[in-house]
Chain A
Amino acid sequence: MAALLGVFAWQSAPVWTQEGLGYITGTKWFYRQHEFGALPLIYGSMMVSAVALVLAGPLGVGAAICIAEYLPSRARFAVKIPIELLAGIPSVVYGLLGALLLRDWVYKTFANFEPLSGDTLLTAGILLGIMLLPTIVTLTDDALRAVPAAQRRAGRALGLTQAEVIWHISLPQAQRGIGAAFLLALGRALGETVAVFLVVGRQDNMLPSNLFSLEPLLAAGQTLTSKLGGSEINIAYGDPLHWGAMMGLGLLLLSLTVGSALVGTLKRSGDA
């Protein structure tokens, strides 16, 4: 892992020496002028992942509560196995479905807001949300099942309703595990390439003046992964600075995904 980070750090050295921290805070990416600012890409990745988690989070936790707390164990397996299968579907399949169905749906549904096309950050976020849902459901279900049944019985014996047991006993105890599920899902969201690539629009330099505005969600954007997945890497080859800038994106991406997955895994294992 450290070796991988090392390779990326070494390969991207030219851009760090030229741009310094401006590489991360810079808002313009014009490779032919040798201007490399990765902030719009980081913004794109964050927005897309945020939309995905906001959509898939509550839905996923709700579904997991239903599966873990209400279904008898046979039915639980009947539901859980297909969900885990869903989590394993290659992302290009989701991407193609998104390109076929979701683009048009977003384009038509949000027609009042006049998006220029169906390729938007929102489209990518919704698609990612759908992809993350099975991951969140199955990990949250595991976390809830790890809460000892004796505690639930004790709760019921004290006169709590089942809903109160879930709210006051199961969820608080599974908190760490659920947090881990979100972080692992975030890691996957940040690193997802193909599906996002097909629906995000891949438009550079789309940093809004107000970072908390929702308006840019309905515009095209670019994420760290969609930039790396495009053909610019072929142009960069042979130009040390440009190549360094592309490798720098790899370094940023790696740090973000590894960071969230690492914290998530630590939380999860600490919970068990």
Chain B
Amino acid sequence: MPRLADMKLTPFLLFLAAITCANAAPLKINGSTTVNLPVAEAAEILRAERHLDIQVDTQGGSSGGISMLAEGSVQMGMSSKPVSAEDQEKYPQCRFHSIHIGEDAVALIVSKDVWDNGVRALTKAQLKDLYEGRVTNWQQLGGAHSQRIAFFNKEPGRGTWEVFVHWLYGSPKNAPQVSFPEVGGNEETRGKVATTRGAISQLSASWADGKSVFALALVGEDGVAVQPSAENIASHKYPLSRPLFVLTNGEPTGDAKVMADFLLSERGQSLVEKHGYLPLNALVK
């Protein structure tokens, strides 16, 4: 009951706070839409429980997060890529402090009949053939018997799709335009692949359950097949993954520190997991 009352009062208190002490500036956060999902939910919780004034935005994605942090227009950036040497060169005055909050990995999942047909791993070249429609039968990709490929493409614009084409073509802009049936959310993707013969799609690795859908290994240049296991994702042996960061200028202080600590806490990490990413404790094993 008191919590409910608090929640109802929150906007009012914020309003009061805003007019009484003008120097209580809000914590502004900006950057990657991928990282935004758990961070925005964390901000909601902190607003309700700690009465913090937090504004989360996603202008310009990861690069927007980095540049706005460096220019001082936000106090925290969100990024789904590490801050690069060029970024540091561009903004020499900024002491980028990266806080790793989780990992986003993409698995290529197939239906049970494909798995049973003996397809367990794909190379980059094979995936390109598949994506560009040059192969249409699993036999061409190592299946024991003839079976049509039903490729469900993750909707362009989704983070999962971007990780996939980024790895395959270097950048989403270089990816060829293709027309496949498209799938959106993780639940939909898993459901459709599980119930369709010869199906394959891209899916956040944490959703590949190994019961209804099966994650393929990726064969690297050295010919070694790498499973999308937590260890391989953590060590970056598995190529289809990217780290998720929040960034501050120097060690976080004040509200930014509250946010960073919350994201690393058990509750914060459960939000990371809830949105389909790997929490930190899944990475160190």
Contacts and interface: CB of A to CB of B under 8 A. Distances in A.
The answer to whether A and B assemble together is: yes
Interface of A: 30-33, 99, 103-104, 107, 114, 116-119, 198, 201-206, 220, 230-232, 234-235
A126 B192 CA distance: 19
A220 B183 CA distance: 12
B181 A119 contact: yes
A116 B150 contact: yes
B95 interface: no
A103 B177 CA distance: 27
A103 B184 contact: no
16 contacts: A30-B177, A31-B177, A104-B195, A114-B148, A116-B198, A117-B152, A117-B192, A117-B199, A198-B188, A202-B181, A203-B180, A204-B179, A231-B156, A231-B184, A234-B157, A235-B157
Contact of A33 (B155, B177, B196): B177
Contacts, number: 56
A103 B181 contact: no
A225 to B, nearest CB: 14
Nearest to A200: B181
Which of the four size classes fits the interface of chain B? 20 to 34
A244 B196 CA distance: 36
A119 to B, nearest CB: 6
Contacts of A119: 181, 192
Interface of B: 148, 150, 152, 155-158, 173, 177, 179-184, 188, 191-192, 195-196, 198-199
A203 B191 contact: no
B156 A235 contact: yes
A222 to B, nearest CB: 8
Given A116-B150, A117-B181, A205-B179, 8 more contacts: A32-B177, A116-B148, A116-B181, A117-B152, A117-B199, A118-B195, A206-B179, A232-B156
Nearest to B195: A104
Contact of B182 (A107, A205, A230): A230
A243 to B, nearest CB: 14
Nearest to B151: A116
Contacts of B177: 30-33
